[in-house]
Structure 1
Amino acid sequence: MNTAINSLLLELPVPFKRIGGVLHVEAQAHNGISRWLDNFDRITLCAPLLPDDEQDLIDGSISWLPVSDLTADGRLNLQTLPWGYHPLDHFKQRRQVRELFQRLIPQHRYLCFANLGWLGSWGNIAADMAQATGRSYAVWLDWVLHEMPASQPGGPAKRAFGRIKLGMLKRNCLRAVRNASLGLFHGRSVHQAYAPHCAQAELVHNIHLKRSDIISPAQLQQRLSRSDGRLRIGYAGRLHPMKGPLQWIAAVDGAIRAAAPGQVIEATWIGDGPLLEDARRRVIELGRQEQIHFPGAETERGRVLDFLRGLDIFLFCHLTPESPRCLIEALMSGTPLLGYASPYASDLVASCPSAAQFVDIGDSAALAQLLGRHLARPNQRRQMAIDARTCGLHFSDEAVFQHRSQLIKEYLP
């Protein structure tokens, strides 16, 4: 083992994509790799390569960046892994993946694996090989994998395979967590789920905004000085079942129905995803096209930040145990949180709890009532916004990646 070099073997689920013969990664992953390189002298990054015939599986709104600029100084080595999410592909490629990790593991001082589960989750193979050779490793998870929403039911065979797949995913994931010397779990919800199974469980965060992206006091004051009487509500993220977009619409619609004359709500959700057209249809059914908007994806980072900074309320309806970065991004934008309660969301505002208000998961009627109260209480919203920015001051990409890297160096012998 090469212990003289501060080197990291990092395996991730975020895929590579080949564009014009050049490897690309998703824009936020590109920033993440840069932050890892701030903390390690040499990194080998392993991630699956998206096949040309699987392009429709990836959100078309993703912004891709070439990785060539990160490899220029020779400190970053890229290793593409096969796309093994189909059973035949997975079992066909297992030997190739094992041989790759058998070669790479002894070459690195620190090991961290993130793509855990079953089919195509090569991090489990890496973890098993590290365990077999007596090497310590870390795992990094930002959601509770086996509690994600199941796919739509099909015939008996499909449902039976779905149960097998979920069982194998949970079994393999927990095995990797139990054998890890360090668990890096993003957010309180994920930490609470996995900590009982891990020898050393640490709560970490994941964000790609910089300190310079935190809304300035002057920008916040300018927003708080608006006097047009509108309550601007928003969300930024994928329209996926686990995000509860239809419940989000129900909450906004309920608040609009209960609003007094002259009280105006304007709600916008930016993002793409499998429920985008369903959400648009539901808005039309309710006759709310003037108040509720789903414009689609926005990939330009500056415009997303401007959107978050312009909101009075960041409204969310997350239904599963995950740690969405958008809540941190909202706080860094000085935007108060209203949404479904979770350990993750509560922990983010633990130092300034008045920056957020929560209702029970699934209770969109209670969320509508909460929105209605905020329509009539602009002074409360003002203080919540100031407190939200105070919470957001604790976060930045530099800080969270440095914290994670320090834990790896501390707990992996």
Structure 2
Amino acid sequence: MKPAHASLLLELPVPFKQIDGVLHVEAQAHNGIARWLDNFDRISLCAPLLPDEANDSAESAMSWLPVSDLLAGGRLTLYPLPWGYHPAQHFKHQTHVVKLFRRLIPEHRYLCFANLGWLGSWGNIAADEAKRAERAYAVWLDWVLHEMPDAEPGGLARQAFGRLKLGMLKRNSLRAVRNAALGLFHGSSVHQAYAPYCRQAHIVHDIHLKRGDIIDPARLQRRLARPDNTLQVGYAGRVHSMKGPLQWIDAVAGAIRSAPSGQRINATWLGDGPLLEAARERVAELGLQEHIHFPGNESNRQKLLGFLRELDLFLFCHLTPESPRCLIEALMSGLPLLGYTSPYAQDLVAGCPGGGRFVPIGDTQALADLLGQQLRAPAQRRQMSQDALRCGQAFSDEAVFRHRSELIKEYLP
């Protein structure tokens, strides 16, 4: 028997972190939980707990906020799950996780699971338990899990385990999608990949900026009135192989080489990640330290917004089928999108096509040529900025979370 009230059992991959005995979550996840609470009476949130030994990893660059301020009123209950991304950890804790979901599923009106895959992806266990209990559930995905870049090559045993892991990830995630009553897929790229396997598939978006964060038209006009001799190009995101940072550098370098005399390109990639040092070394090899910058991570939200609002173009080289929030953030900042084509990027500017220009994935020369054209056509670039802002007006955290919540309430019987 399902509870009558609008309660949601929500399972996410974004981890909890224990800091001085207090549970924290990443800052954007904190905002997301608050927006979920705008739309449901009660929420039980399940997410893995980051182990102490992982605190020196890439997650340490995240900005963390305590969850305690969201607990007032008793509408939110937290269930930290074990960290199970190693076979020994996963199978040690699997029985405990199964028992937890068997208890929680009957207590909630709506069910939504997001951490699909294999080892440590407890959303698959939740989905299996929901099916066993004959309960309808939603899945929510923002990338095509089994099309992520392969791990770094190693010995034969490591390569064999990598193939096994990828195969199990695909098998398990597609099983959860097939059995779901509703698929919430962030962006057109992810939707196209999963919709054939899902009974009821919908495109949703994920953004944590608010209506008030959309660039003010007067500020945009001041930016467009700047002199045309310098083009400010940027990107904000992890310096990771799936984001194509080395190809990004090559595209900028190509545009710099062909720039007319007296015109300049300044390019800045804001973010941290495993390829940060390799990217800096590549820039040094090209002798372009005065033009291309990798300053590292910026966790201050207002500084990040200020960075975006001062750019002229948002340049990206995404190599995998995902739906990065940064493209929406760029549009909300009145930034034209220049980058590798994808159904996601094209769909974002479908209502105002001037807001983006795209080239085939991997064609750095075509991207360099496209960037160079913007340097030579300032009037066109100004119109593209206006179009980008028009596209960005459709987005806010309140709007996208309300849309997602309404779909859950409509399609989960």
* Structures share fold, TM-score greater than 0.5: yes
Look up the match of 1:252. Answer: 252
Shift of 1:2: 4.5
The residue aligned with 1:261 is: 261
Aligned to 2:341: 341
The answer to whether residue 268 in structure 2 is matched with residue 271 in structure 1 is no
Q: Secondary structure at the match of 1:389?
A: helix
Q: Alpha-carbon deviation of 1:148?
A: 0.2
Q: Aligned-pair distance for 1:54?
A: 1.9
1:329 and 2:329 matched: yes
Contact 1:59 1:273 in 2 (8 A): no
Q: Partners in 2 of 1:68 and 1:247 — Cα distance?
A: 42
Equivalent position of 1:380 in the other structure: 380
Whole-Å Cα distance in 1 between the matches of residues 58 and 97 of structure 2? Answer: 23
Q: How does 1:214-363 map to 2 (within 5 A)?
A: 214-227=214-227, 229-363=229-363
**Is 1:185 matched with 2:188?**
no
The CA deviation at 1:57 is 3.4
Q: Which residue of 1 aligns with 2:172?
A: 172
For 1:112-191, what aligned pairs fall within 5 Å after superposition?
112-191=112-191
Name the residue aligned to 1:398: 398
Query: Quick one: distance in 1 between partners of 2:73 and 2:280?
Result: 47
Q: Describe the superposition over 1:330-383 as per-residue Cα deviations: whole angstroms up to 9, x where unpaired.
A: 000000000000000000000001110000000011000111111110000000
Instruction: Give me the TM-score of the superposition, normalised by structure 2.
Output: 0.99
Structure 2 CA distance, aligned partners of 1:9 and 1:31? 17
How far the C-alpha of 1:228 sits from its partner, in A, is: 5.4
Matched with 2:43 is: 43
Q: Distance in 2 between matches of 1:58 and 1:277?
A: 14
Whole-Å separation in 2 of the counterparts to 1:311 and 1:50: 35
How much has 1:272 moved relative to structure 2?
0.2
Please state whether the residue corresponding to 1:361 is helix, strand or coil. Answer: coil
1: CA distance between counterparts of 2:185 and 2:21?
35
Tell me, what secondary structure is at the counterpart of 2:208? coil
Partner-residue secondary structure (3-state), 2:104: helix
Structure 2 distance, partners of 1:74, 1:367, is: 51
Question: In structure 1, what residue type is equivalent to 2:131?
Answer: Q
Gaps of at least 5 residues in structure 2 are none
**Shift in Å, 1:56:** 3.0
Q: Give the structure 1 partner of residue 65 of structure 2.
A: 65
Instruction: Show CA shifts across 1:230-281 (max 9, x none).
Output: 1000000000000000000000000000111101000000000000000000
Letter in 1 for 2:217: P
**Quick one: which amino acid aligns to residue 283 of structure 1?**
V
Deviations 1:292-351 (A, max 9, x none): 000000000001001111111100000000000000000000000000000000000000
Residues 7, 43 of structure 2: 8 Å contact kept: yes
Structure 1 residue 61 displacement after superposition: 1.9
* 1:114, distance to aligned residue in structure 2 (A): 0.2
The secondary structure found in structure 1 opposite 2:289 is coil
The one-letter amino acid of 1:242's match is M
- In 2, the alpha carbon distance for the partners of 1:296 and 1:228 equals 27
Residue equivalent to 2:208: 208
Give the deviation of 1:81 after TM superposition.
0.2
Q: Where does residue 74 of structure 1 map in the other structure?
A: 74
CA contact (8 A) 1:243 1:318 kept: yes
The equivalent of 2:4 in structure 1 is 4
**Distance between the aligned counterparts of 2:264 and 2:13, measured in 1?**
42
Kindly state the Cα deviation for residue 60 of structure 1 after the two structures are TM-superposed: 2.6
How many Å separate the matches in 2 of 1:235 and 1:89? 36
Distance in 1 (alpha carbons) for counterparts of 2:192 and 2:150: 21
Aligned to 1:94: 94
Q: Deviations over 1:31-60 (max 9, x none)?
A: 000000000000000000001012233333
Q: Is the 8 A contact 2:228 2:378 kept in 1?
A: no
Measured in 1, the distance between the counterparts of 2:56 and 2:322 equals 24
Q: Which runs of 4+ in 1 moved over 4 A?
A: none
For 1:316, give the aligned amino acid: F
Query: Alpha-carbon deviations, 1:7-40, whole Å to 9, x = none?
Result: 0000000000000000000000000000000000
Amino acid at match of 2:360: D
Cα offsets for 1:121-160 (capped at 9, x unmatched): 0000000000011000000000000000011110000000
Is the contact between residue 58 and residue 273 of structure 2 (CA under 8 Å) also seen in structure 1?
no
C-alpha RMSD of matched pairs (Å)? 0.7
Tell me how far apart the structure 1 counterparts of residues 55 and 388 of structure 2 sit (CA, whole Å): 38
* C-alpha deviation, 1:3, in angstroms: 2.1
Number of the residue aligned with 2:364: 364
Alignment match, 2:34:
34
Q: In percent, how many aligned pairs have the same letter?
A: 73
Amino acid at match of 2:91: F
> Take 1:106 and 1:276, find their aligned partners in 2: how far apart are those partners?
46
| Separation (CA, whole Å) in 2 of partners of 1:384 and 1:162 | 43
Letter in 2 for 1:136: A
Residue identity in the other structure for 1:144: V
| 1:169 alignment partner AA | L
Q: Once the 2 structures are TM-superposed, how far is the Cα of residue 227 of structure 1 from its aligned partner?
A: 1.3
Does structure 2 conserve the Cα–Cα contact (< 8 Å) formed by 1:359 and 1:366? yes
